[in-house]
Amino acid sequence: MSDNDHVVIVGAGQAGGDLAANLREKAFSGRITLIGDEDSYPYSRPPLSKAYLLGNKIRSDLLVRSDEMYGRFDIDVKLGTRVKSIDRQRKRITFGESEHLDYDALVLATGGSPRTYPDERLNSSSNVFYMRALDQVERLRPHLTSGTRLTVIGGGYIGLEVAAVARTLGVAVTVIEREQRLLARVTSPVMSSFFDRIHREEGVALHTGRSVSGFDFSPDRELSRVVLDDGTIIETDVCLIGIGLQPNTALAEAAGVEVNDGIIVDSLLQTSDPSIFAVGDVARYPCSESGGTRRLESIPNSTEQARALAQTLVGNPAPYNAIPWFWSDQYELKLQVVGLISPSDAVVVRGDPQHDRSISVFYIRNDEVRAADVVSNPREFAMARKLVTKRAVVDPAKLGDASFPLKDLLPVVNSSFSVGGMPAYHH
């Protein structure tokens, strides 16, 4: 990229905002245009289902950077703007009525949208909500008052985080999960069991291994009852649907860019078009940890990809290979995850999952520590990250002994392996 080039970033979320800032930090002096379809400058989404929903943060607290920063660093921001099409031959995007911008490099940071039920009555009901954007959370929050009955469809991170906030506010909560256990797609049975116990202890009614077979509505078209496949009827005042994220690939697909449950990119985050790149939740990238490709929905992933792509765009190619990590706040507990749990040969547990409120679970593959889940133990998580980063070969008996210091396991490592840096903070 030269100082006369124009980088256009479509998507003003974490990844897009971080990329624009990183380009300036790396002394790129060409034009930068950041386009977002929401009316807000880039903000952090994780607090939406946590502190912001609980009322412990205000809107301005969520901003990744101050509004004035973009003007100060000559980043042109177009908010409330939806890009309609990409003309790859002319290197041009179209938006608004007939406006367009030419680009030298186009970055798609379009993120994702909540998966919805194909039921128009449900999606038009005033007491049914999804959790992805500020305006959705602001509409939900007034409904979460003491004594209200909340039904959460989906026992993943978003559903459980909202359930925890709602219970803290005195709301009666029911969670429905069609898999046999909570968090089935993202963690091991031992962690699923741990969080199942925690939520039941906090008063959440859980229905695992159950699907929704129908919905009933009141005369004013609000959702009033959720019917399960075993005939159970759940009376509800408000409903949150958290059944996953659909990557926003339509723009790329219409332009003929390769797409498969995400926009396909190489290790430099370049798509099948050499002038178009993708970062964040929408990007499907080569995964050195598990082989093949993967799409990861997390803030650290977005932040690290933005940093790597900025390096590449200013002429210092930086393959993306950071070890993934993530966190989730539920009640007073903080779950921190590093690495990929699957596939694993063995699972080692520190602590008592049936009684403790703080445990650590390690995942071993080829005798190496490849991933870890740590609950409410920041010091242990710091050591766990080092073990995973260095692919430490450890004695499972010592690893599972809560009295044995994790730092004493660090010297025995496979020094031939190295990975990219990981961010110092967050999902």
The model's confidence at residue 16, banded by pLDDT at 50, 70 and 90, is very high
- Structurally, at CATH architecture level, domain 325-409 sits in 2-Layer Sandwich (3.30)
Tell me which fold the domain 116-243 belongs to: FAD/NAD(P)-binding domain (3.50.50)
| pLDDT beyond 50 at 351 | yes
When pLDDT is averaged across residues 185-209 and rounded to a whole number, the result is 97
- The answer to whether the Cα torsion of 297, 194, 424, 268 is positive or negative is negative
pLDDT for the residue numbered 344:
83
When pLDDT is averaged across residues 302-317 and rounded to a whole number, the result is 97
What is the C-alpha separation between 140 and 130, in angstroms, rounded?
9
- Token look-up 């933005």 returns 306
The answer to whether 194 and 158 have CB atoms below 8 angstroms apart is no
Please, which residues bridge with residue 295 across strands?
284
Tell me which fold the domain 6-113+246-313 belongs to: FAD/NAD(P)-binding domain (3.50.50)
Q: Which token pair is 2?
A: 């030269």
Which range in 114-128, 348-362, 405-419 is most confidently predicted, on average pLDDT?
Answer: 348-362
Within 8 A by CB and 6+ apart from 284, the residues are: 260, 261, 262, 263, 264, 265, 293, 294, 295
The model's confidence at residue 411, banded by pLDDT at 50, 70 and 90, is low
Domain ranges of the chain: 6-113+246-313, 116-243, 325-409
pLDDT for the residue numbered 419:
36
| pLDDT beyond 80 at 164 | yes
What is the C-alpha separation between 330 and 158, in angstroms, rounded?
10
The answer to whether 51 and 57 have CB atoms below 8 angstroms apart is yes
When pLDDT is averaged across residues 170-177 and rounded to a whole number, the result is 98
* Residues 79-119 pLDDT 10s: 999 999 999 999 999 998 889 999 999 999 999 999 998 88
* Residues 353-390 pLDDT 10s: 999 999 999 999 989 999 999 999 999 999 999 999 99
Say whether 325-409 and 6-113+246-313 share the same fold.
Answer: no
What is the C-alpha separation between 318 and 315, in angstroms, rounded?
9
**Whole-angstrom Cα Rg for the chain:** 22
Mean pLDDT across the chain: 93
Percent of the chain scoring above 70 in pLDDT:
96
Within 8 A by CB and 6+ apart from 390, the residues are: 410, 413, 414, 415, 417
Count helices and strands in the chain by DSSP H and E runs: 11, 26
pLDDT for the residue numbered 415:
40
The model's confidence at residue 138, banded by pLDDT at 50, 70 and 90, is very high
Reference 298, options 19, 111, 108; nearest CA is: 111
| pLDDT beyond 90 at 394 | yes
Q: How many CB atoms lie within 10 A of CB 219?
A: 6
Percent of the chain scoring above 90 in pLDDT:
89
The crossing angle, in degrees rounded to 10, of helices 189-201 and 157-168 is: 20
SS3 state of residue 92 = strand
CA–CA distances in Å: residue 158 to residues 40, 47, 208, 245, 252: 22, 11, 16, 11, 27
